[in-house]
Amino acid sequence: MFNQPPAIQFELPGWIGAYTQGISPMQAVNDRMSFVIEASRRNVSEQTGGPFAAAIFERDSGKLVSLGVNLVMTERLSILHAEMVAFSLAQRKLNTYDLGADCLLVHELVTSTEPCAMCFGAICWSGVRRLVIGARDEDARAIGFDEGPKMAERWIELQQRGIDVVHDIQREKAAAVLSEYLLAGGGIYNSRQRKLE
Amino acid sequence: MFNQPPAIQFELPGWIGAYTQGISPMQAVNDRMSFVIEASRRNVSEQTGGPFAAAIFERDSGKLVSLGVNLVMTERLSILHAEMVAFSLAQRKLNTYDLGADCLLVHELVTSTEPCAMCFGAICWSGVRRLVIGARDEDARAIGFDEGPKMAERWIELQQRGIDVVHDIQREKAAAVLSEYLLAGGGIYNSRQRKLE
């Protein structure tokens, strides 16, 4: 007989509450990225998921709206990349599927590593108007993560949708977390790539 | 003070239970697609979301594993395209983030409309080994949905990852649901495209 869950729930790791408690608005983009990179490192050390974190900020005030981390292996859901988690948390909080709605302040996504092919598409639907990136695509690929099929013109595509992109913010610090994860024996979970090897 | 939800939950529409009750394995791909297209129509008539549905089947037996529908507006989460819902339901049911794990039967995604840029990437991480498509990209764009930035070589990219693609299965029937949705005044919700107009 056919059956499927009537609902899907996923939980954020418990440490995020303490990590974000009393956090102040961060004026500098560098500070926002440091906060996100430290969350990616924490997600590894707490063993709550892959070495990736992403946050939604109010672009102009630097106020934190949501912090997501990679939960693919812990929640056993392939869509739960850090960016997807951050979008969902922010959208629930603001009660809208569009973080770019006219009645809202402008939002940005700050992500520890360049978004994969899925998250790249998701950015277009999220409503964020700026994307701030730490480690590069090739840094993730270097430790064995498949970033998926990406178009060369992807930054132009975002720009044409009114989404600014800022690259290489603390790239080395962000990439260091990826290397640490690999050295610690963290799971590289992109099954399609593995099958082809 | 910063706070965000400790968990995210989304619910499937109540009509899905009755719609899938007592469903038998479907040998023919056409039957699988008819089932999915009817779900997309039902999602509109029940006013539970956008005109899109997607299902995971065991490729060889035709047994239904999960049925997802578009829940973007109802759940106010931009990532909840039908394909993402179908992946999540199937992965929860099988307790794995990889529907292509060696210990499992082969799975496929049957979707009423060609996946958008986000869902295209998500397919690579889902573990499905076949993608069966009804309406084309241009059918969705024709009613105003932005499908996002897509690469011309996207089918080759999937093939290289061991994912077969089957096109135009009942395309006209699937596209008819999109037109009906537009005529009925359904919301076209891709905010980025709208802003640029």
Does A118 sit within 8 Å of B92, measured CB to CB? no
User: For residue B132, which phi and psi values (nearest 5 degrees)?
Assistant: -115, 125
Show the DSSP H helices in A12-169 as ranges: 15-20, 29-45, 72-75, 82-94, 117-126, 137-142, 154-160
Task: Point out the residues of B that are catalytic.
Answer: 83
Strands A53-58 and A64-69: antiparallel
Does A76 sit within 8 Å of B192, measured CB to CB? no
d(C-alpha B117, C-alpha B128), whole Å? 17
Low-confidence ranges of chain B (pLDDT < 70): 190-197
Please check whether residue A159 is in contact with residue A132, taking contact to mean a CB–CB distance below 8 angstroms: no
CA geometry: angle at B135 spanning B129 and B136, to 5°? Answer: 85
Among residues 96-135 of chain A, which lie with CB inside 8 Å of chain B?
96-98, 100-101, 116-122, 124-127
What global pTM score does this model have?
0.96
Does B190 sit within 8 Å of A127, measured CB to CB? no
d(C-alpha B76, C-alpha B62), whole Å? 32
Q: How far is CA A103 from the centre of its chain?
A: 24
Interface mutation target, options A1, A2, A129, chain B, most CBs of B under 10 Å: A2
Task: Point out the residues of A that are catalytic.
Answer: 83
What integer pLDDT is reported at residue B188 of this predicted model?
76
Could you identify the residue written with the tokens 């790249």?
A120
Residue pLDDT tens, chain A, 197 long: 899 999 999 999 999 999 999 999 999 999 999 999 999 999 999 999 999 999 999 999 999 999 999 999 999 999 999 999 999 999 999 999 999 999 999 999 999 999 999 999 999 999 999 999 999 999 999 988 899 999 999 999 999 999 999 999 999 999 999 999 998 887 777 644 444 33
d(C-alpha B100, C-alpha B161), whole Å? 12
d(C-alpha B87, C-alpha B125), whole Å? 10
Which residues does chain A have within 8 Å of residue B6's beta carbon, measured at their own beta carbons?
A: 11-12, 17
d(C-alpha A65, C-alpha A67), whole Å? 7
Q: Is A79 on the interface with B (CB under 8 A)?
A: yes
Instruction: Report which DSSP code applies to B106.
Output: -
Strand positions, DSSP E, chain B: 7-11, 53-58, 64-69, 107-113, 130-135, 164-166
What integer pLDDT is reported at residue A190 of this predicted model?
61
d(C-alpha B160, C-alpha A20), whole Å? 41
